[in-house]
Amino acid sequence: MIEYLNGHRARLRERFIRAGRAGLADYELLELLLFYAIPRRDVKGIAKELLARFGSLAMVLNASPEQLMQTGGIGPGAAVLFQLFKVLEVELSSHSLTGGRLLKDPDVLKHYLLSVFADCREEELKLLLLDKEFRLLDVVTFSGNQRNVAVNRKPLTYRLLACRKLRQVIMCHNHLDQIIPSKADIRNTIIMKDILHGLSVTLLDHIIVCGDQYLSLMKHSGFLTGDTSRQSSSPRH
């Protein structure tokens, strides 16, 4: 049995090296991944069961460790390997080959901002300066909470003008208690939108992060698209 497994695994690895993704079926790709987490067991049945349970290869790779471990044969080691694979894929997709982090994909942006604010013990307001390809050029940070962060127009304008490829900005900040946007959040966004408009720069969104929660003011309040009917009426502070 061990000799068969070793031969089967060697042939599958060789086929992948020779033909790449096109040379393997979906369950065989999962088999190949599972080889490294379950070294002494036939994993073909486990791979096929994962596909049957989740419906597709993409859904398997996006499943949580808890969901994966509901499948027989999948323990913590295999679940962590799958999770690590997903994290590394996000990291790779968030960088261009020419350098600079790409923030066009919403999932990549969310992952980036949750990591940026993960260790913040006070509120910070950040401007992500992007070129037309959504490549991160620079980050401007203002410390303090939303009630007393002072955005000085003149120094900020000089900083933005110095970023020659700047075409668009994502405004973001963290809350320490709850995700609900405040009147100050709305007001600061309108001010920033006005500053950027004078420089022919687009404000793409204002995003709030609170712990592992993530909220887009563009979707929540609508004021960036002209719909102000859903703006928050009660201040958070």
User: Which is higher by pLDDT, 216 or 91?
Assistant: 216
In the predicted model, what is the mean pLDDT of residues 184-211? 91
DSSP 123-153: -EEEEEEE-TT-BEEEEEEEES-TTT----H
- pTM for this structure? 0.59
Residue labelled with tokens 């809350």: 175
DSSP code of residue 94: T
List domains and CATH numbers for the chain. 2-93 (1.10.150), 106-225 (3.40.140.10)
Write out the H or E segment, with its range, that includes residue 214: strand 213-216
How many residues does the structure list for the chain? 237
For 96-110, what is each residue's pLDDT tens digit?
Answer: 555 678 899 988 899
> Can you tell me whether residue 121 is helix, strand or coil?
coil
Q: b/e map of 23-44 (b: 16 or more CB within 10 Å)?
A: ebebbbbbbbbbbebbeeebbe
For 96-154, what is each residue's pLDDT tens digit?
Answer: 555 678 899 988 899 899 888 887 888 888 999 999 999 999 898 876 654 555 567 78
What pLDDT shows up at residue 223?
A: 58
